[in-house]
Structure 1
Amino acid sequence: MDASQTIPVQRRKSEATRQALLEAARVVIARDGYTNARIVDIAREAGKSAGVFYSYFEDKTGLFSALVEAFYQDIKRVTPTPKEYDDSPAEAVKSGIDAFWHAYRHFHPEMVGLLESALSDPDLLVVWRNIRQRGIRRFAHRIKKQQAHGKCLGMDPELSATALQGLMEFTCFNWHSQKLDFPGAPISDEKATEELYQIISRVLEI
């Protein structure tokens, strides 16, 4: 095998190892929680040594940041485009809510870990802030677009956007956890996303 063939193979192996560590981290975080998750346990779950872990991630925060980025990419992959928002705001908002709800369910252990640890971990706080800012920018942009059409008047786009993003985040955390308002009582995807849509669409006057 010449060098031109070896490099792609090595790259694939490297990416497979990195992905194995990420998947192992998801298992360990779901089982033990983010705070109690140990690098040695993550490496063992992946069938790797702790030394291999440090070849891919600086520390647990670096790995967790990669998991949260995967959460964002999962949302981004199915989030409507700006043109779709302009062409059909109601359908686009509904699709955006649906994307966030399902991504949050898939990454629920990671998001719980983020909520639990971010306020006491400056590095994780930056990760959380970056995720929030992406949603806030979308809501603020939509409010400004509505204001240009004589709607959402009197609303501060930035403040209102942070409130809407907070509504989305905490509602997903609350309803997916089944521990706070409705202990042990699952809420169907259809019911959850429809309720969120009804609230947000009224605020945005769609």
Structure 2
Amino acid sequence: MTASPREQLPTVRGRQTQAAIDAAARAVIARKGILATTISDIAAEAGKSTASFYNYYDSKEAMVREWAVRFRDEARDRSRAAANPGLSNWERSYEAVAAHWYTYRHRLAEIIGISQLAMINDDFAQYWAEICELPISLITTTVKQAQRQGFCPDDDPHLIAVAMVSMLNQFCYTKLAGGNDAVDDEACISILANIFYRTIYHKESGLT
């Protein structure tokens, strides 16, 4: 089968143009969200014509769909750090939330785009479910391991994981969306790590 122009390897200039369009799209989507972003917004941010955008993507949804595939692989790789068996409970808590935070930090436009399109598109709803399932599965396993040590004995591991991922997603969105770069990463990660640790690694106090 003959590859279409979009499937062929682009020239150096073409790769540079596509990189400029991607960078512009990420900046605009991080500020405005995918639903409010237009192709004209992206082209203007990149200093390119609207026609240039269509040399690489059929639509903004097609652009985010391409991003989604790459993002799922990166999110999976980042999540593995917290599964190291040699970590202390505190270190595991820290690594789990740090992975979530930095995935949001470095892939904010992808997350905003996928999560917002998930509200109106079944394909993107599936992408979003798969992305969220990565940390949910990790935290569920972490809770089960903690319960074998006597922590949070009466809690449902999966429900804890869903609640924690929902909290992490909303916190990261609140702090990072809107083009807000002046955020103290370490302060945010430390707060999240404290919440994660206290939620999972607690024992019943024996209250009557």
TM-score norm. by structure 2 comes to 0.71
Partner Cα distance (2:33, 2:201) in 1: 39
Partner Cα distance (1:189, 1:67) in 2: 24
Encode CA deviations 1:109-166: one digit per residue, 9 max, x unaligned. 4433444442223222222111111111111111112223332211112111110110
The 1:162–1:43 alpha-carbon spacing in structure 2 relative to 1, beyond 3 Å, is same
The 1:83–1:170 alpha-carbon spacing in structure 2 relative to 1, beyond 3 Å, is closer
Q: Are 2:201 and 1:205 aligned?
A: yes
Amino acid corresponding to residue 133 of structure 2 in structure 1: Q
The 1:30–1:188 alpha-carbon spacing in structure 2 relative to 1, beyond 3 Å, is closer
Map residues 28-177 of structure 1 onto 2, 5 A cutoff.
Answer: 28-30=28-30, 32-39=32-39, 42=42, 45=46, 49-54=52-57, 59-81=59-81, 84=84, 86-88=85-87, 89-177=89-177
The 1:38–1:178 alpha-carbon spacing in structure 2 relative to 1, beyond 3 Å, is closer
The 1:199–1:30 alpha-carbon spacing in structure 2 relative to 1, beyond 3 Å, is closer
Q: Are 2:199 and 1:193 aligned?
A: no
CA contact under 8 A between 2:83 and 2:92: conserved in structure 1? no
SS in 1 for 2:143: helix
The 1:12–1:171 alpha-carbon spacing in structure 2 relative to 1, beyond 3 Å, is same
The 1:23–1:176 alpha-carbon spacing in structure 2 relative to 1, beyond 3 Å, is closer
What's the RMSD between the two structures over aligned residues? Answer: 3.5
SS in 2 for 1:49: helix
Encode CA deviations 1:34-54: one digit per residue, 9 max, x unaligned. 113334664673676355224
Structure 1: any 5+ residue segments left out of the alignment? 1-9
Identity fraction in percent: 25
The 1:143–1:19 alpha-carbon spacing in structure 2 relative to 1, beyond 3 Å, is farther
Aligned residues: 189
TM-score norm. by structure 1 comes to 0.71
SS in 2 for 1:53: coil
Amino acid corresponding to residue 16 of structure 1 in structure 2: R
Amino acid corresponding to residue 161 of structure 1 in structure 2: A
* Higher percent of residues as helix: 1
Identify the residue that residue 27 of structure 1 maps to in structure 2: 27
